[in-house]
Structure 1
């Protein structure tokens, strides 16, 4: 509900079904408590059902209890689990939009409050999770901003949008993922020598003899006869097992699916034991052997985890490099670092598989490792230069200025629908052989071209991409803010191309 002096946000609009679920949850809690006292069994079906209903009722109670209000004094937020929180307009520096992402890529828009001391507070309401409630979200946010302009002192008139592409995003998620992958790489690397020693001991094990001491019999091979009682072939991810008659020497052995299919009930088999466990089951024409992971495969896992940690690490690096940018400016993509990581994997993973204990001193592996390291170093330097943050003046200074005697097509687009860009159909701008025009193709020819009225356009400035701009625009593009006879329009293109287009338009 919105008035001239007060804005109230409640969620959701239809509360009667939720209050019914709250009542059902209370009844479920009472049922679970009474049944637990009566039976004393926590895993009773009635107890579990009552607890589930109580949990659903608690969630619904939180949904109907949350409330955010704004008046001439400031913002007030109230929820079920938190006490009432009030923020005066004088203490609020700005209001902005914060985009949260779901597990499957869903976008949830929330309002974030930036305080004068630099801290941020995220409001529980309003929230937009789809296009259906976006209009109501925009209306309530604009009402908040109107009250802030009237009774406070906003630091900016621009509405900032903080998304996963912008500089104001916190590094918590990529940093945590990077550290988790590095921990996995370290754990796998610690198992490499252990796995290598186990594999070497198994391959070099010999049958036990009468002279073998009892303390060393676990390191040699012993054989025992056994009879298959029944087999169990698992489906999908289920395990397959062999059962032995009289539970001798054990009742059940987990084997592969192919290994279980080769045996039948009543088969007389020979078991090979090593280190107290059955490692081989043989029946003449069919043999199952336990698989021992090689040191090379574990080394590959360690290297793959370390390389995978490079991409979230690159994202943290990009956030660090963009710390001086406004919070809503879009950062360059970390994909160049991902390309360097992928090329590194092409030479590092085979090297780790073939030489898991370290690169030997022979010429071929040393040359392989040295050449790969130099290639990776060169790719990282290229990625560092490709992802540097360039301001529009730097891009304009780097653009070349030369006369054109034939048509030149450059990828660019006006973000608003105009007479020369109806329904936003334009993808390129052509100039040189004729007046500048918008085209839906990269040429050749000016088919379906719409002439740009350059005389009525005025340049107001050039800026980098912001979080409020379309995600379909490449991160490296800049946006020129133009005035079309009193109507603001925006032209997006690569920095150097945008400078050439503005020169062709006489701006």
Structure 2
């Protein structure tokens, strides 16, 4: 008798649509994250242009290559609810008309519009600027500023990019500052890449490594740990990008430091899921006999030293006279009737000593009906949902 090797069994088993779908989703997530990381590089370069820009010479003409410092006085602060969050604004009055030439508005919000102005002239007060601030915490300038306080506005390319609170030594970026433009694409990239690679690795494992295991495991350790760790890393990376202070290096270090705890959490989740599966599989108290009202051909294996235990007979016909085993899914060919002396003793879950074919067929969704026929022990393995009908036909 030829023994089927692992490689032969793998080649003979085509990938299921679930595997193909998971691999496709994982590949798409990885490609999207790569594109987002490429955008991050461009955003970081743009932000570096601003942070490295020198201060324009005093009395010179402002240009895009330098920044201009303009003193101003705080008029008031404003917080405006938008959806689940809020937008914060600082109203300031610049001193002596020192505003540099430029666009003067941020992203299409022109001065004098009734709502949505981020950097523009407040209605009814030509010398008051409404500046939208970066609403990420901490917000040192917005939280500490009071009417009458003196601030310094940093202009770059015609827009206010940074506000410094004089005498306190705190600085806060505005919504127009390019210093933090890398955060959103970086957060989205970190949210997509770990789960994407985890899905690709898991489909590879199920396709090529699972067959090396002698028994089917309802919750295999490797996929459970990898998927959980990837989900944790994705969440940590996203939160670090959007909420944590510091630059890109700090976000990467924070995400890297979370790797080991994420793996540990993955082991805990896998252990909990395996324990839950085993408890559910061991509970057979809800399986009670239900008498079949019509002919049914159910998937079942009968094992024992009896005439109706035949190799290849993987179905049991009930509801059509005496229960019988058959190799025919329709239940019409080569039927071998079960003995009338067959007595049901117990219903139990699948055990490690049961044949591997039973575990592979039902994947811990099966049960075993233990019976006695004269002096022989007979086992009937079937799906948990079919067991009541088989019990009803035997009792």
TM over 0.5: no
Query: What's the TM-score once normalised by structure 1's chain length?
Result: 0.28
Greater RCO structure (CA 8 Å; 6+ sep): 2
Query: What's the TM-score once normalised by structure 2's chain length?
Result: 0.35
